Structure formats: structure tokens, C-alpha cells
Amino acid sequence: MRIIITIAAIITLQACQSTSTSNYNHCLDDLGKPMTRDLAPIVRIEPRYPSDALEKNVKGHVKLTFTVKANGSTENIKVVESVPEGVFDSTSIAALKKWKYVPQCNNGKVVKVQQETTLTFHGK
């Protein structure tokens, strides 16, 4: 059973890694007309729970702001709020760096978008 689960996880991971935002970097419809499209997540990696915080059953959250670039990757990640302070920051930032989006289109042009998210850590 573990082998089947491992194989399924590897196949899923490879599919996620092969997902490219390049198919979405154009903002024209099938007729070549400019279109508008909302930002849409395609890869979201959950943050790793720090082992010492998990052992102590520390709960908390991190609120972050970031920019989604025209290619769907993230940049300018900043911690806005962290409870408890500093415990989950680095693991939250590391996870957010791996997120990917279908970029937003406004009137036929791919645009950068400011986003905000809160990652919650629930403990054991």
C-alpha cells in the first residue's frame, strides 16, 4: 500500500511541476480579441510546520502580502502580522515562494497583482 501511495504522490508532484503558466500568459481569446481574466491559483504549497512548534503544540498564523508577477510566480513577499511573532515566518515565506498562478489579464494585458493571504497553523 505504501508503494502505491508513493507512486501516486510522485506522479502528482510531476504533474504539478510540469504545469506551466506559459499557456496563460496571453490575454487574447480564441478570436484574438483582448480579454479580462481574474487571477487564479494553480499551485499552492502548504508551509512545513516547524517541528519544535509542533512538539510544543504552538498554534498561530502569519499574514503575508505579495505580488503575483506576469508569469504567475510570486515576489516581494512580506510578513504583515505573525502570531506568535517569528515562529512561522520563514516556513510561510518559503512555501509562498513556490506558489503559482494563472496571471490576471486586464483588457488584453497581463498585469502584476498585489495579494494578501493568511496561513494558519493549528497544532496537533
pLDDT in tens, 65-121: 999 999 999 999 999 999 999 999 999 999 999 999 999 999 889 999 999 999 999
pLDDT digits (tens, 9 = 90+) for 10-26: 444 444 444 444 455 67
Give CA–CA dist 1/16, Å, rounded: 23
CATH architecture of 2-121: 2-Layer Sandwich (3.30)
Nearest 10 degrees: CA dihedral of 23, 29, 33, 37?
-80
Give residue limits of the domains in the chain: 2-121
Question: What would the grid cell of residue 102 be?
Answer: 494563472
SS3 label, residue 122: coil
Q: 68 φ, ψ to 5°?
A: -95, 120
Question: Does pLDDT of 5 surpass 50?
Answer: no
Is the whole-model pTM more than 0.95? no
